[in-house]
Chains A and B, each alone.
Chain A
Amino acid sequence: MKLKARRGLTMPDPLISLIDVVFFLLVFFMLVGRMDATAPFDVAPPISLLGEDLPTGGLTVSIGVEGQMALDGVEMDAPALVAQLAALHESQPDLLVRVNAHGALRLSVLLPLVADIEAAGVGDIVLVVTPNPI
């Protein structure tokens, strides 16, 4: 019995270039994109030209200009937020907390909250800034 030789697998040229472009774009967006929980309110961080690189990982506390607060995108009030961070700190002693506060937020809201988070045991707290206005 003579078997038929299989034809080589060929695809139309335009389709191959389409797949290449789509794959390239996919890798690009996967690399440059930042997966992070967004706050349910508007937050424009303060502008600083001397900020250091933002470390990855940890939790994000967002504070809006009116004092609204959210932990990793979930809106809650300050006592609940601090209690949740204290509970998380027990399981993760080296927990990092990023405070993403609005640039126009009053310090009478920001500083006591940071002090409360520190009092809850969190040893690493950073303030998110941006070199470019948003």
Chain B
Amino acid sequence: MQLARRKNPKALISMTALIDVMLILLVFFMVTSTYLDLDMVPMVQSSEETEAPPNTSAAAGAPLLVQLTASGQVRLRGQVLEIAALAAQLADMVADNPGLRVLVLPSGAADAQALVGLIDAATTAGVADLRVIRPEGGQ
């Protein structure tokens, strides 16, 4: 008995080109993609978003000045504090005065990381109104 040889099935559309294109796209996306976990801290917002909340009017009292020194230390009312201690003190003040306004006066020689750490501490303490004063010159 003679068996008939099976014919190779022939694809109507060539898949090779499709696979090639997909591989090229895959390599492109693998090479160009970045996988950084990035967040943001608002620095300047449109005026309608920065309207003061109702409880931050005259009842909020005088703003609290926090200094950021060149070495990254924080000074509150003449007292040098660690970031954790500052957060605790600010939390107490916010408990007494929820509309507390905090002004940060940074040294020009302080770095961005120190400022972000200070903003984090104030946010943790519940400060809703924090402004950064721009230092003149590179002090």
- Evaluate whether A53 and B40 lie within 8 angstroms (CB atoms) in the complex, with A23-B22, A111-B134, A124-B46 already known: yes
Task: Verify A46–B113 contact, CB threshold 8 A.
Answer: yes
Q: Which residues of B contact A10 (CB under 8 A)?
A: 9
- A1 an interface residue at 8 Å Cβ cutoff? no
Does chain B have a CB within 8 A of A134? yes
Q: With contacts defined as CB atoms under 8 Å apart, how many contacts are there between chain A and chain B in the complex?
A: 165
A54:B34 contact, CB within 8 angstroms: no
Chain A contact surface mostly: mixed
Complex Cα gap A38–B124 (Å): 32
A26 and B44 within 8 A (CB): no
Which of the residues A25, A51, A105 comes within 8 Å of B41, measured between beta carbons? A51
Task: Let me know if B39 and A54 touch, CB within 8 A.
Answer: yes
Considering the chains assembled together, what is the distance between the CA atoms of A19 and B32 in angstroms?
22
CB distance A132 to B39 under 8 Å? no
Q: Is B108 an interface residue (CB 8 A)?
A: yes
A91 within 8 A of B: no
The reply to whether the CB of B99 lies closer than 8 angstroms to some CB of chain A is: no
- 0/1 interface trace, chain B 17-54, chain A, CB 8 Å (1 if under): 01100110110011011111111111111110000000
Pick the contact of A9: B12, B29, B117, B138 (CB < 8 A): B12
A99 to B, closest residue via Cβ: B43
Known: A47-B116, A111-B106, A134-B36. A52 touches B41 (CB 8 A): yes
Which residues of chain B are within 8 angstroms of A124 by Cβ–Cβ distance?
Answer: 44-46
Q: In the complex, how many angstroms separate the beta carbon of A108 from the nearest chain B beta carbon?
A: 3
Residues of B within 8 A of A126 (CB): 40-43
CB pair B34 A129 closer than 8 Å: no
Counting contact residues on chain A (CB < 8 A from B), the size range is: 35 or more
Are A112 and B134 also in contact (CB < 8 A) when A11-B11, A130-B38 are? yes
Q: Are B26 and A131 in contact (CB under 8 A)?
A: no
Judged by a CB distance under 8 angstroms, whether B137 is at the interface is: yes
Give Cα A99–Cα B120 distance, bound, in whole angstroms. 18
Cβ A38 vs Cβ B30 within 8 A: no
A71 within 8 A of B: no
In-complex Cβ contact of B9 among A7, A30, A38, A112 (8 A): A7
A57 lies within 8 A of chain B by Cβ: no
Could you jot down 7 A-B contacts, CB within 8 Å?
Answer: A33-B32, A34-B34, A45-B38, A106-B108, A107-B110, A108-B137, A111-B108
* Apart from the given pairs A111-B108, A117-B44, 12 other A-B contacts in the complex at a CB distance below 8 Å: A15-B15, A15-B19, A22-B26, A48-B41, A52-B39, A103-B116, A104-B112, A104-B113, A112-B134, A123-B45, A126-B42, A131-B39
